[in-house]
Amino acid sequence: MPNLIEPKLISGNANRPLAETVARRMSMHRGMEVGLVDARVERFNDGEIFVEVFENVRGEDMFILQPTSNPANDNLMELLVIADALRRSSAARITAVIPYFGYARQDRRSKARTPITAKLVSNMIVEAGIERVLTLDLHATQIQGFFDIPVDNLYAAPIFALDVMHHFKGNMDDVMVVSPDVGGVARARDLAQRIGAPLSIVDKRRGKPGEVAEMTVIGDVKDRRCLIVDDIVDTAGTLCKAADVLMENGAKEVHSYITHGVLSGPAVERISKSSMKNLVITDTIQPTEAVKACKNIRIVRTAPMFAQAILNTWNGTSVSSLFDHKALKPIYEGTYSS
């Protein structure tokens, strides 16, 4: 069935620069301007969120771009209120593009009398009238099953693979991918297979929550350029300690590839003083001025991938082609050209 309507993009306040970049990329792909829908997303004096859409969206295919990052509660409410405004304005379909899905770390009951907040959030998203979710590197893939609507979970590994092959060209024989814990082995193995590198694991044992008591490296990292791979870096304590342990075990260099740079509290200061040569994150969370000023933090763009994923969703075509770094290379032409 041919599309008779154009895709329309609307943004909350969580990461407007990413939304604007996605709109520009969509304009390039379509050969016609795709702008952000004119709207205001504001707060009353008591903190209540108010949304007003200034354009006609009746019968339109709407995409809300809004990560639920810090402040998580405010940004989540913005997403829900925008969705309600669009639903009550008779939008034909509403897709939530959530580059960083907050509350994803609360995906199971870790002990008695605790919530499964990721499930609660998914219920709220569905009840708000959202019909599809597009996200990147969910902390736990089973969260897709919490939704009763389609969820497309994209992966940062293809972008990271392009970045590694570009920046380590000529030194790929020395590269080793490292998982910072046993639970992240599948994610690290994915990148290792894409770039043809061996895999190592840092086994950590916690003394108490938030504190790492002991770390052991499984695998020979001597004289290797180690790439730590994970989905979230928050306070960066574990990450920096893992880098130190790798260096103590003879690693030549330590770099980290982390999808979501939460980077709260002392994270930036820790990273700037750490033995890591580089921390590479994506722009799913809008970087603070401190993050942008840190010399050993580098940010890679997700806008080309999200723009293509949105267009594929609008066209009714598969987004699975974006799982392959070879397919992504033309989209990132000029960034990782050989």
Q: Would you list which residues are annotated within the binding site for D-ribose 5-phosphate?
A: 206, 230, 234-238
Instruction: Give the annotated binding-site residues for ATP.
Output: 46-48, 105-106
Cα–Cα–Cα angle for 106, 280, 193, rounded to 5 degrees: 80
Active site residue ranges: 204
Residues 6+ apart with CB under 8 A from 74: 43, 47, 49
For residues 141-172, b (16+ Cβ closer than 10 Å) or e, as one string? Answer: eebeebbeeebbbbbbbbbbbbbbbeebeeee
CB 222 within 8 A of CB 232: no
The CA distance from 299 to 283, in Å, is 6
The CA distance from 63 to 24, in Å, is 15
The CA distance from 283 to 19, in Å, is 11
| Token pair belonging to 259 | 């999808």
Instruction: Give the annotated binding-site residues for Mg(2+).
Output: 139, 181
Angle between helices 185-195 and 157-167 (to 10 degrees): 50
Q: Count CB-CB contacts under 10 A for residue 191.
A: 23
| Amino acid letter for position 280 | V
What counts of helices (H) and strands (E) characterise the chain? Answer: 10, 14
- For the chain, first and last CA: distance in Å? 39
Phi, psi (rounded to 5 degrees) for 157:
-55, -40
Instruction: Give the annotated binding-site residues.
Output: 46-48, 105-106, 139, 181, 206, 230, 234-238
CB 146 within 8 A of CB 153: no
